């Protein structure tokens, strides 16, 4: 009987939110844009912040410029029009100490909402014109028998909104939804765990996160719900890791001669960090369990060399290696480098891009299928249905944050459980890496090769542009080469930004007519890009105007100056990646960030860039500024979206959740025990396709 009751309750929560009073067929379309479809979605659509409107003051004590809440009686109301036709509706509200006015502009319909003599609570910013007034305040009309307010006179939830849905309407819907349906929520956490941590129950937690009576209750509900989010996140990571470890992979034989041959073809000494990581990769590839490793390292730390060694190891065992990168220009750069290093020792490297001609693509596909191609470099074209590898032994994914989990899975599925190495130049603090990439073993290149110079970084305002151009001119005359980076390819009417194509003409014709100015961007044909890059590498192009296509992979040692236009438009990690394109040669290098922005976030980013070269510190600052959701792109990893939890500030709760999830998985790896059935059901819902997704 109990099981049937639970099923009925669950069906109610999966009903459309359209049937909550105040929603209906039109409003549900707006709410769908917020991710609210079912009643359960509604209950789990949490406030983004709260306003404390519980502190009622006598009207005589409110202060202009402050957010205040008052209670009084509607004394008068009136509607008037200005000379320009604007309708102004006004009410006078009084208590024993004074009078304040509520004013609404161009909302004549407000006249029907208030009656003289009604009790009312007003909340808003107080102005003085010369009388005290609040413009468009929140209000709550009080009846004699019901003073249960939701918009004022209490701690009031503020929700994220969408077009045509205002705060007051959504808050009223949420109150009705919580009051009517929160009681149907089923507890998913074990009772023993709830007792140990003194968590609120799920019904109490959801009610208190929406409409708390005090901030202590709100904090306790946050703690419980954040734990639940992290608990299922950790369960997913652990099951994902566990299932990969049950697969039968390839046991590569280690060839001592290979290391010697490899060291001969690279013209420099490996760093200690590179040698350590190579040993970790060798151990993984020798094991019959498929390698599932994350290689993270700062810009210029030498990840590509590590990748080449791993590719050589799989090729020497008779397998093919594939490296998937996010952009065609980066694929081309990798292809040129790998061909130059490896083809002299008999390794065939093939390039596969969507933009290749039909004839060249057909040849490439043939080489991949027959095994004639030993190493294949490509973009997402590598995971198209018509790509068939003869014997894929190693899949490398470069710039992992640019790809979703399903793309990683699809590439792995092109072989029989090949080894997988994912690489990122966005360093992540180790504890956070274990959280987000917890299904992967983590290697870290935390040492830069000798000879990498510090790049002196400056932030300048628009008025200093002329000086910057003068500096660039002097550097080009000394033989140096310059990058000038723009955030857009073409001028946008909506954004007043200098775009690469327009400014290329301006720089070439009017500013640096004595120099050769080139242009490169992602919309150019592959052959055109190759010609431009060849010209820049060979030194026939002095100044290269570019979009962010040069963010990763391009290495021109003589390029020692970078000027980034509209630097406020770039994220911190992206700016650090861009800066990593210079400082690779013997010459002193400079990065000039141009921005007239005064926004707090932009100023913080630019100050960080001018104060440090440390990619790990920059990553931590980026996490703080942007928040973990955007930084990691949790959805990209096939993990549930975090609505409340912050991986940085809530790390203690994360560690608690990891410990509890680990205990459950140790005792019940497939969540089959009767006491874990509610966890299993929620797990399958949170991860959409449940265990089937994680098996990939």
Helix and strand element counts for the chain (H, E) = 24, 21
Using a 10 angstrom Cβ sphere, with 0-12 exposed, 13-18 middle and 19 or more buried, the burial of residue 531 is middle
pLDDT at position 235 over 70:
yes
Lowest mean pLDDT of 328-337, 403-412, 538-547, 591-600, name the range.
Answer: 403-412
Close Cβ partners of 643 (under 8 Å, ≥ 6 residues apart): 44, 46, 229
Q: What whole-number distance in Å separates Cα of residue 123 and Cα of residue 68?
A: 6
Are 572 and 625 spatial neighbours (Cβ–Cβ below 8 Å)?
Answer: yes
What single-letter DSSP state applies at residue 25? Answer: H
> pLDDT category, 146, cuts 50, 70, 90?
very low
**Cα–Cα distance for residue pair 694/242, rounded to 1 Å:** 10
The pLDDT tens digits for 509-530 are: 999 999 999 998 877 877 788 7
Closest of 51, 27, 61, 75 to residue 149, by C-alpha: 51
Q: How far is CA 539 from CA 15, 482, 517, 518, 587, in A?
A: 66, 11, 11, 11, 15
* CA dist., res. 59 & res. 102, Å (int): 12
* Higher local confidence (pLDDT), 684 or 181: 181
The mean pLDDT of the chain is 84
Assign a CATH topology to domain 256-287+302-424: Rossmann fold (3.40.50)
**The pLDDT of residue 471 is above 80:** yes
Closest CA to 120 of 96, 94, 156, 158: 94
State both tokens at 201. Answer: 């129950």
- Fold (topology level) of 455-612: Rossmann fold (3.40.50)
The pair phi, psi for residue 288, each rounded to 5°, is -75, -10
Residue bearing the bigger pLDDT, 507 or 414: 507
What's phi and psi for 236, nearest 5 deg? -60, -45
In the three-class reduction of DSSP (H, G, I as helix; E, B as strand; rest coil), residue 462 is classed as helix
- Is residue 576 within 8 A of residue 607, CB to CB? The reply is no
126: buried, middle or exposed (CB in 10 Å: 19+, 13-18, 0-12)? buried
| Segments making up each domain of the chain, as ranges | 2-49+178-210, 52-158, 256-287+302-424, 455-612
Q: Is the pLDDT of residue 694 over 60?
A: no
pLDDT mean over 202-209: 96
pLDDT tens sequence across 617-675: 887 777 777 665 555 544 444 556 678 887 777 888 988 998 999 999 989 988 888 88
- Rounded-to-integer distance, Cα 229 and Cα 327, Å: 34
Mean pLDDT of 84-89: 87
Ordered alpha helix ranges (H), 371-461? 405-412, 430-436
Residue range 678-683: mean pLDDT, rounded: 87
456 φ/ψ angles, rounded to the nearest 5 degrees: -70, 125
Distance between CA 646 and CA 222 in Å, rounded?
11
CATH class of 52-158: mainly beta
- As a whole number of angstroms, the distance between CA 264 and CA 388 comes to 33
Please give the structure tokens belonging to residue 557: 């040692």
Interatomic CA distance for residues 387 and 369, integer angstroms: 8
* pLDDT above 60 for 9: no
Asked whether this chain's domains 52-158 and 256-287+302-424 adopt the same fold, the reply is no
CA 621 to chain centre: 14
Given a cut of 70, is residue 5 above it in pLDDT?
Answer: no
Are residues 350 and 377 in contact, defined by beta-carbon separation less than 8 angstroms? yes
Contacts of 45 (CB under 8 A, 6+ apart): 34, 35, 36, 159, 174
């Amino acid at each position: 009987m109990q099981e049937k009751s639970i099923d009925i309750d669950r069906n109610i929560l999966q009903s459309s939110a359209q049937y909550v009073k105040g929603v209906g067929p039109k409003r549900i379309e707006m709410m769908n844009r917020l991710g609210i479809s079912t009643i359960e979605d509604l209950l789990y659509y949490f406030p983004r912040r709260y306003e404390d409107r519980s502190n009622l003051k006598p009207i005589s004590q409110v202060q202009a410029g402050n957010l205040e809440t008052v209670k009084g009686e509607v004394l008068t109301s009136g509607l008037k029009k200005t000379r320009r036709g604007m309708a102004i509706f006004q009410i006078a509200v009084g208590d024993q100490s004074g009078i304040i006015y509520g004013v609404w502009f161009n909302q004549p319909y407000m006249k029907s909402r208030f009656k003289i003599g009604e009790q009312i609570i007003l909340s808003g910013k107080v102005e003085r014109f010369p009388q005290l007034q609040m413009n468009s305040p929140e209000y709550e009309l009080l009846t004699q028998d019901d003073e249960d307010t939701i918009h004022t006179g209490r701690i009031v939830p503020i929700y994220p909104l969408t077009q045509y849905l205002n705060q007051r309407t959504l808050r009223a819907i949420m109150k009705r939804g919580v009051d009517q349906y929160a009681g149907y929520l089923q507890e998913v956490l074990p009772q023993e765990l709830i007792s140990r941590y003194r968590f609120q129950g799920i019904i109490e937690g959801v009610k208190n996160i929406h409409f708390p009576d005090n901030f202590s209750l709100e904090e306790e509900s946050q703690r419980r719900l954040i734990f639940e989010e992290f608990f299922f996140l950790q369960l997913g990571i652990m099951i994902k890791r566990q299932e990969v470890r049950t697969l039968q992979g390839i046991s590569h034989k280690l060839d001592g001669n290979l290391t010697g041959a490899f060291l001969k073809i690279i013209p420099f000494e490996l760093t200690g960090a590179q040698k350590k990581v190579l040993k970790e990769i060798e151990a993984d590839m020798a094991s019959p369990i498929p390698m599932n490793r994350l290689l993270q390292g700062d810009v210029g730390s030498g990840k590509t060399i590590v990748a080449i060694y791993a590719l050589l190891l799989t090729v020497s065992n008779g397998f093919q290696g594939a490296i998937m990168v996010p952009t065609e220009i980066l694929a081309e750069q990798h292809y040129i480098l790998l061909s130059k290093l490896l083809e002299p020792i008999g390794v065939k490297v093939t390039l596969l891009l969507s933009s290749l001609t039909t004839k060249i693509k057909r040849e490439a596909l043939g080489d991949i299928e027959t095994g004639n191609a030993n190493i294949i470099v490509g973009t997402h074209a590598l995971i198209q249905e018509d790509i068939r590898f003869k014997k894929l032994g190693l899949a490398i994914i470069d710039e992992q944050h640019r790809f979703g989990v399903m793309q990683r899975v699809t590439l792995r599925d092109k072989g029989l459980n090949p080894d997988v190495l994912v690489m990122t130049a966005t360093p992540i603090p180790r504890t956070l890496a274990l959280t987000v990439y917890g299904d992967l073993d983590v290697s870290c290149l935390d040492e830069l090769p000798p000879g990498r110079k510090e790049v002196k970084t400056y932030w300048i305002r628009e008025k200093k542009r002329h000086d910057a151009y003068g500096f660039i001119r002097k550097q080009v005359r000394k033989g140096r080469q310059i990058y000038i980076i723009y955030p857009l390819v073409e001028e946008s009417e909506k954004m007043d930004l200098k775009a690469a194509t327009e400014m290329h003409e301006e720089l070439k014709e009017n500013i640096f007519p004595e120099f050769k100015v080139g242009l490169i961007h992602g919309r150019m044909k592959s052959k055109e890009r190759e010609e431009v890059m060849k010209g820049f590498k060979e030194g026939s192009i002095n100044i290269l105007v570019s979009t962010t296509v040069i963010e990763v992979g391009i290495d021109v040692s003589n390029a020692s100056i970078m000027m980034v236009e509209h630097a406020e438009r770039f994220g911190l990690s992206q700016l650090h990646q861009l800066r990593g394109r210079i400082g690779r040669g013997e010459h002193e290098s400079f990065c000039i960030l141009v921005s007239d922005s005064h926004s707090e976030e932009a100023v913080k980013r630019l100050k960080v860039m001018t104060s440090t070269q440390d990619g790990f510190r920059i990553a931590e600052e980026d996490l703080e500024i942007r928040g973990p959701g955007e930084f990691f792109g949790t959805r990209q990893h096939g993990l549930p979206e975090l609505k409340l939890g912050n991986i940085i500030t809530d790390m203690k709760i994360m560690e608690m959740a990891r410990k509890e999830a680990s205990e459950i998985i140790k005792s019940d790896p497939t969540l089959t025990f009767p006491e874990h059935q509610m966890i299993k059901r929620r797990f399958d819902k949170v991860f959409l396709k449940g265990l089937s997704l994680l098996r990939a």
